[in-house]
A and B are shown apart, each in its own frame.
Chain A
Amino acid sequence: QAQLVQSGAEVKMPGASVKVSCKASGYTFTHYGISWVRQAPGQGLEWMGWISVYNTYTNNAHKYQGRVTMTADISTTTVYMELTSLRSDDTAYYYCARDAIVGTTGFSWFDPWGQGTLVTVSS
């Protein structure tokens, strides 16, 4: 069945960048978009943006424009999310989550989700 496996935890200094990977398996990679959702410790869920794996079109939440880059590597069925200029309030779990249905333009619920990657920003 469809599965998303994310890279391991990261610790970064303020001002640095982080790149989180999300490897997909069990389905046709190019048929489904991927969103990134973050969750600060003890807080709720926040959508960051979406990438069409088919044509690499992206749509990011206004809050992250200019700081987040989402890419996809079809050869390795992996999606990446890079966040730059890290601040302490970027400390959070970062999840990748697949569109639940084929061929949307990012208007979808999510299933499945990756297991999450904890990014800690601290000096």
Chain B
Amino acid sequence: EIVMTQSPATLSVSPGDRATLSCRASQSVSSNLAWYQQKPGQAPRLLIYGASTLATGIPARFSGSGSGTEFTLTISSLQSADFAVYYCQQYNNRPLTFGGGTKVEIK
């Protein structure tokens, strides 16, 4: 099973600042990585797939990069709607696995 490790567990950021979230895979997943945003009481929402392709309707302040085992989600200028938990997911191998999440909170 591929273990996905996200860091940090919690990120305290001021509105308007840049946020950088990391996701590491225990073995290569190529570019088969997605990012999701989850707010309390809601289902996850797709942000990025293929490591760097923005999903439909997602603001351009979100971007993804990386391949192999190291991936990054960047939010260029945090808005109030962006404070949430973010998960990465690999779909290169079964079982499909998620990272433990990074909570982005208001500083």
Q: A residues engaging B (CB < 8 A)? A: 35, 37, 44-47, 50, 59, 61-62, 95, 97, 100, 106-116
Q: SS class of chain B's interface: helix, strand, loop or mixed?
A: loop
Which 10 pairs between the two chains have the least Cβ-Cβ distance? A109-B34, A113-B43, A111-B46, A45-B98, A47-B96, A109-B49, A61-B95, A44-B100, A107-B91, A44-B101
A-B Cβ contacts below 8 A, count: 55
**CB-based contact B49/A100 at 8 Å:** yes
**CB-based contact B89/A46 at 8 Å:** no
Q: B residues engaging A (CB < 8 A)? A: 32, 34, 36, 43-46, 49, 55, 87, 89, 91-92, 94-101
Partner of A44, one of B46, B55, B87, B94: B87
Partner of A107, one of B32, B46, B100: B32
Assembly CA distance A44 to B88 (angstroms):
11
**CB-based contact A114/B43 at 8 Å:** yes
Distance in angstroms from A62 CB to nearest chain B CB is 7
Assembly CA distance A37 to B44 (angstroms):
10
